[in-house]
């Protein structure tokens, strides 16, 4: 056994715990979520004979007797109530009315043995559109239904992609809201964090420790506790409003909670360290003589800032913005506690599908959309930063 | 003073209880090259920073061209500053760095590129215009900093130990370059350094600082040949300090009695009083081997050091030790030999102890 091979083995053994952790707790769940977003095996599983029979159907002619016979056979075979429930949910979500139709048909089918006339059980079976739904559901175990629904799109009866009628779903609105709120929080963090980092970088000794401590301290407290603290502060009878009223700045309490303002305030506070620290670390690396040099060369302090300090600090601002923006996209607790119904972000919708509606497909699809959007932004960032570095 | 261009008028600067500059009075003429020389902590950099506007005097006034400038912000002072670590803008190219002062002054684009080109030629960096500072050597960065400080034709150029980070050969080359630029452009230069050779070779006048005060100000030869204090004599070049007491004064010569009762004649200064203690300085290269006119002293060689271009002898005599520099071809001295040395009274300069 060569020395090199042994060395490689040792280093592999050293990273193995991390690798294992990442696979088990990151890569595997991520893959499962992505898979559940696009997999649709229920109909194929529950209706094996129909799957076969409907595969040759042109979906426009009247349903054939082989199709009905296969379907009846399949219904007779389903003994698993869990599977039947999933099937009903799947078909009903594609076309309303399937729940009563299938339950009624199953009862009728189970009552007799041998062939049965489905149109006699329910005349809806003469309607092509119900058969079309079954045909689509059994045609493939992979579906884009969840992904389309995540951005308020669906396939119409002819299979073309179409927008969901207004009012039926708000995913797109909530996605846009999520991005605008993350953007607002990032902007607020830059506005507060940049001057703060500049002050912290310009002082030394205990003053710097104090300033950095003030930023880091919130990180040592749980997110829930911090959000709860803001909940108390922002109330109509909270400290902020009573101070404003005491100072006579306002006669009525300013509405700060259960709206966008409150959420942005609380999220900015929570995410500020991720903006301040990267900017600070870049600023302390900038030689102290550059600003005096700019002044001696005739630059007014504002112009010196714009021409020298800002371009040099931009790297910190960009990485800080990226950190804040990405974290803000996935925020759940703060909007849930401080925000109103119109301030919920995409994570609360995902949580609803995952825990409330047990619709893992939709939860996975929304998560996937968020992931793709974030990755796209990250690629844009990489492009921008690479271009800056490539410049001679 | 009528030709005074820069004037420090009773300028003091304290940081808390620490007095860094004490009641400085200094006049600098137009076109003059003045070095502020001193050990670190002597206040010379603070003086430069006050002149550039980065520090405010605690008291006193600074004048430039008959205008009071000590309340003026740095960007309105029109002084070119060359910093010790060059302070080039790392995100700009060489030509962008040099164009910066012109851009701040709203110079037209055509004029700017013309002047940048000339400035690059002046410091022989035309080929590197599009490089970043990080791609340049120390000497090249220094030239860029120099070009950037000169391109807007400032009235005064301030340099804060600009050659400190360069190696010896490059430093000597840059010293000549800066001196040449000073003469060619008629610049007024205030040059801070702790390197006495640099100050001696470049300056019209040198102000030697110690503990925030001027110890002595004068031309390089005045400072070197006639140091007024013990500090200046020791700080500038190498010297032998000889202690004794004044025996008698005869016109422009004073007779000093050394500790072993030998007598030495020195240049009399007004301050010398008969019987008072005195220290005088004599440079190692002013002491000749063998008997000669003036003072003679019997010594013994206690060490010989070979320096290539000269020999350095460590001698003991007159109750103390002397360093003598000598031509290495004169004689092959060896340790333990006795040696007669001689020196002129005019080379012995009494200093304040």
Average pLDDT over residues A125-132: 86
Instruction: Say which CATH class B238-351 falls into.
Output: mainly beta
Average pLDDT over residues A273-298: 93
Note the Cα B58 to chain centre separation in Å. 26
* Cross-chain residue pair B85–A287, CB shorter than 8 Å: yes
Residue B333 predicted with pLDDT over 80: no
State the smallest CA–CA distance between residue B147 and chain A in angstroms. Answer: 11
pLDDT of residue A290: 93
Residue B232 predicted with pLDDT over 80: yes
What structural domains does chain A harbor?
42-143 (no CATH), 171-390 (1.10.3720.10)
Residues of A in contact with B53 (CB under 8 A): 295-296
**Which of B89, B103, B105 minimises the CB distance to A290?**
B89
pLDDT of residue B27: 93
Check: CB of residue B52 under 8 Å from CB of residue A291.
no
- The segment with the largest mean pLDDT, out of A146-155, A169-178, B64-73, is B64-73
Residue B353 predicted with pLDDT over 70: no
Average pLDDT over residues A298-325: 92
CA torsion angle B287 B290 B293 B296 (round to 10): 70
Radius of gyration of chain B (CA): 24
Furthest-apart CA atoms within chain A: distance in Å: 100
| Closest-CA residue to A334 (of A280, A249, A273, A259) | A259
pLDDT tens digits, A205-239:
899 999 999 988 878 888 888 888 888 888 888 88
pLDDT of residue B329: 66
Confidence of residue A387 (pLDDT cuts 50, 70, 90): low
State the smallest CA–CA distance between residue B76 and chain A in angstroms. Answer: 6
Residues of B in contact with A302 (CB under 8 A): none
Q: Element (H or E) spanning A226, and its range? A: helix A223-234
Confidence of residue B135 (pLDDT cuts 50, 70, 90): very high
Residues of A in contact with B79 (CB under 8 A): 296
Q: CA A389, CA A224: separation in Å to the nearest integer?
A: 40
Confidence of residue A391 (pLDDT cuts 50, 70, 90): very low
* Cross-chain residue pair A392–B93, CB shorter than 8 Å: yes
Task: Judge residue B341's burial from the number of C-beta atoms within 10 Å of its C-beta, 0-12 exposed, 13-18 middle, 19 or more buried.
Answer: buried
CA torsion angle B274 B216 B8 B150 (round to 10): 170
Q: Element (H or E) spanning B95, and its range? A: helix B94-104
State the smallest CA–CA distance between residue B157 and chain A in angstroms. Answer: 10
State the number of CA atoms in the 13 A half-sphere of B10 facing the CB: 2
pLDDT tens digits, A64-90:
888 888 888 888 888 888 888 888 888
Domain residues of chain B, as ranges? 4-234, 238-351
Confidence of residue B221 (pLDDT cuts 50, 70, 90): very high
A303 part of contact set with chain B, CB < 8 Å = yes
Interface test with A, best of B64, B74, B84 (most A CBs within 10 A): B74
pLDDT of residue B105: 92
Percent of chain B past pLDDT 90, that is, above it, reads 40
pLDDT tens digits, A182-208:
999 999 999 999 999 999 999 988 999
| Closest-CA residue to B323 (of B282, B266, B284) | B284
Residue A179 predicted with pLDDT over 80: yes
pLDDT of residue A341: 81
Residue A135 predicted with pLDDT over 90: no
* Cross-chain residue pair B81–A292, CB shorter than 8 Å: yes
B4-234 and B238-351, same CATH topology: no
pLDDT of residue A207: 94
N-term to C-term CA, chain B: 30
Percent of chain A past pLDDT 70, that is, above it, reads 97
Please state which CATH number belongs to domain B4-234.
3.40.50.300
* Cross-chain residue pair B53–A303, CB shorter than 8 Å: no
Q: CA B320, CA B213: separation in Å to the nearest integer?
A: 31
Q: Which residue has the tokens 């969840």?
A: A146
N-term to C-term CA, chain A: 48
CA torsion angle B262 B264 B270 B275 (round to 10): 10
Residue in chain B closest to A306 (alpha carbons) equals B104
State the smallest CA–CA distance between residue B88 and chain A in angstroms. Answer: 7
State the smallest CA–CA distance between residue A183 and chain B in angstroms. Answer: 28
Residues of B in contact with A303 (CB under 8 A): 104
pLDDT tens digits, B103-120:
999 999 999 999 999 999
What average pLDDT is seen over chain B? 88
**Which of B83, B101, B132 minimises the CB distance to A298?**
B101
Residue in chain B closest to A312 (alpha carbons) equals B91
Residue in chain B closest to A314 (alpha carbons) equals B91
Average pLDDT over residues B343-348: 87
pLDDT of residue B1: 45
Q: Looking at this predicted complex, what is its ipTM?
A: 0.81
pLDDT of residue B330: 63
State the smallest CA–CA distance between residue B200 and chain A in angstroms. Answer: 27
pLDDT of residue B219: 94
Residue B328 predicted with pLDDT over 70: no
pLDDT of residue A97: 85
A162 beta partners: A154
Average pLDDT over residues B300-321: 86
Confidence of residue A390 (pLDDT cuts 50, 70, 90): very low
A and B: number of Cβ contacts within 8 A? 69
């Amino acid at each position: 056994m060569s020395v090199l091979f042994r060395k490689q083995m040792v280093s592999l053994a050293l990273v193995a715990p991390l690798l294992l952790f990442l696979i088990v707790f990151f890569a595997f769940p991520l893959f499962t979520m992505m898979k559940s977003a696009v997999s649709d095996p229920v109909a194929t599983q529950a209706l094996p004979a129909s799957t076969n029979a409907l595969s040759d159907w042109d979906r426009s002619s009247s349903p054939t007797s082989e199709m009905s016979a296969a379907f009846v056979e399949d219904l007779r075979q389903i003994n698993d109530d869990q599977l039947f429930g999933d099937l009903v949910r799947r078909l009903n979500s594609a076309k309303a009315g399937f729940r009563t139709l299938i339950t009624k048909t199953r009862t009728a089918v189970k009552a007799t043995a041998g062939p049965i006339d489905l149109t006699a059980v329910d005349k809806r079976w003469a309607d092509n559109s119900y058969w079309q739904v079954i045909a689509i559901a059994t045609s493939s175990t992979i579906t884009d239904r969840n992904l389309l629904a995540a951005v308020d799109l669906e396939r119409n009866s002819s299979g073309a992609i179409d927008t969901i009628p207004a009012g039926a779903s708000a995913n797109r609105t909530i996605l846009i809201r999520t991005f605008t709120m993350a953007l607002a929080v990032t902007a607020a963090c830059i506005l507060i964090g940049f001057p703060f980092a500049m002050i912290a970088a310009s002082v030394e000794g205990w003053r710097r420790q104090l300033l950095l401590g003030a930023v880091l301290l919130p990180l040592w407290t749980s997110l829930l506790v911090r959000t709860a603290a803001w909940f108390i502060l922002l109330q109509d009878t909270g400290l902020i409003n009573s101070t404003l009223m005491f100072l006579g700045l306002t006669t009525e309490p300013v509405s700060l909670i259960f709206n966008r303002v409150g959420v942005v305030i609380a999220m900015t506070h929570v995410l500020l360290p991720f903006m301040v620290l990267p900017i600070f670390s870049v600023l302390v690396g900038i030689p102290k003589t550059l600003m005096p040099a700019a002044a001696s060369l005739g630059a007014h302090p504002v112009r010196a800032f714009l021409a020298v300090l800002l371009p040099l600090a931009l790297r910190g601002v960009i990485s800080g913005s990226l950190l804040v923006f990405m974290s803000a996209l996935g925020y759940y607790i703060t909007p849930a506690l401080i925000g109103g119904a119109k301030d919920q972000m995409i994570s609360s919708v995902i949580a609803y599908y995952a825990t409330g509606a047990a619709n893992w497909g939709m939860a996975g699809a929304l998560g996937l959309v968020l992931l793709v959007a974030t990755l796209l932004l990250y690629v844009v960032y990489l492009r921008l930063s690479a271009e800056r570095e490539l410049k001679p | 003073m009528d030709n005074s261009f820069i004037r420090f008028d009773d300028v003091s600067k304290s940081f808390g209880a620490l007095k860094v500059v004490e009641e400085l009075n200094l006049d600098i003429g137009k076109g003059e090259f003045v070095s502020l020389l001193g050990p670190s902590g002597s206040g010379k950099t603070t003086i430069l920073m006050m002149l550039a506007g980065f520090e405010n005097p605690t008291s006193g006034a600074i004048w430039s061209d008959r205008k009071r400038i000590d309340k003026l912000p740095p960007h309105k002072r029109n002084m070119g500053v060359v910093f010790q670590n060059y302070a080039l803008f790392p995100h700009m190219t060489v030509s962008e760095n040099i164009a910066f002062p012109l851009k701040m002054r709203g110079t037209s684009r055509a004029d700017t590129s013309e002047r940048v080109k000339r400035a690059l030629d002046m410091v022989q960096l035309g080929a590197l215009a599009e490089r970043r500072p990080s791609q340049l050597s120390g000497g090249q960065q220094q030239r860029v900093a120099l070009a950037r400080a000169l391109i807007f034709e400032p009235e005064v150029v301030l340099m804060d130990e600009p050659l400190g980070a360069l190696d010896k050969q490059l430093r000597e080359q840059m010293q000549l370059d800066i001196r040449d630029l000073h003469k060619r452009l008629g610049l007024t230069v205030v040059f801070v350094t702790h390197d006495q050779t640099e100050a001696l070779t470049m300056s019209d006048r040198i102000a030697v600082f110690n503990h925030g005060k001027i110890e002595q100000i004068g031309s390089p030869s005045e400072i070197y040949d006639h140091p007024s204090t013990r500090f200046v004599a020791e700080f500038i070049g190498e010297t032998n300090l000889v202690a004794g007491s004044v025996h008698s004064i005869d016109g422009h010569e004073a007779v000093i009695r050394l500790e072993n009762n030998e007598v030495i004649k020195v240049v009399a200064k007004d301050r010398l009083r008969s019987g008072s203690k005195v220290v005088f300085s004599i440079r190692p290269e002013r002491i000749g081997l063998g008997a000669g006119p003036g003072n003679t002293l019997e010594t013994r060689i206690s060490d010989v050091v070979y320096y290539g271009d000269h020999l350095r002898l460590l001698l003991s005599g007159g109750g103390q030790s002397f360093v003598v520099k000598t031509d290495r071809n004169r004689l092959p001295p060896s340790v333990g030999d006795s040696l007669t040395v001689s020196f002129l009274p005019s080379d012995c300069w009494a200093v304040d102890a």
